[in-house]
Amino acid sequence: MAEIKDPENTLILETTKGKVVIQLLPEVAPEHVARIKELAREKAYDGVVFHRVIEDFMAQTGDVEYGKQGSETFNPGRAGMGGSSKPDLKAEFSATSHTRGTCSMARSQNPNSANSQFFICFTDAPWLNKQYSVWGQVIEGMDNVDKIKRGEPVRDPDSIVSARVAADAAA
């Protein structure tokens, strides 16, 4: 198991494929990290499906509006079109590269439209550099990310069972 050096800045995802541990990067994208932690602490990501998963690219999730199984607004046909009730975030583009295991915010054409959706890169994706806000890096469980069912949209998708800040999980 990966050593968790900073529990306040570590996210633990339990997925239908197993555990994924993400080191958060507040020094790179402080507002995006704050949003991820806020949504995790509200349990907003629990039950959210991986709605767009592209082989040799990335797995996208985080639509807490339409992608959360068991919620009143869950709509598999609209998963990926929603966000949270919170305001969109201003872009925090950085020199941090999109490499295997990078966690970055999804957005529309508007650079300042990231809200709750994010993706995890399966492979290096340098064309995304300085165009999407990187907020984390998988430090354990990439083998589980690799097992996530592919599709656009995904039939019978995998999901986040729970998302917790490690500092809270230890409590």
CATH number of the structural domain spanning residue 119: 2.40.100.10
Q: Is residue 141 part of a domain?
A: yes
Q: How many CB atoms lie within 10 A of CB 82?
A: 20
Tally the domains of the chain.
Answer: 1
Average pLDDT, the chain: 96
pLDDT of residue 170: 58
The dihedral region occupied by 101, where left means phi > 0, alpha psi between -120 and 50, and beta the remainder, is left
State how far the Cα of 139 lies from the Cα of 93, in Å rounded to an integer. 21
Half-sphere exposure of 26 (CA within 13 A, CB side): 10
pLDDT of residue 107: 97
Q: Is residue 62 part of a domain?
A: yes
Q: Is residue 160 part of a domain?
A: yes
Range of the domain at 120: 8-166
Q: Is residue 41 part of a domain?
A: yes
Q: What is the DSSP code (8-state) at residue 110?
A: S
Q: What is the tens place of the pLDDT at every residue in 115-163?
A: 999 999 999 999 999 999 999 999 999 999 999 999 999 999 999 999 9
Work out the angle at residue 36's Cα, subtended by the Cα atoms of residues 112 and 41, and round it to the nearest 5 degrees.
145
Q: Is residue 29 part of a domain?
A: yes
CA-CA-CA-CA torsion sign (71, 75, 79, 81): negative
Write down the pTM of the prediction.
0.97
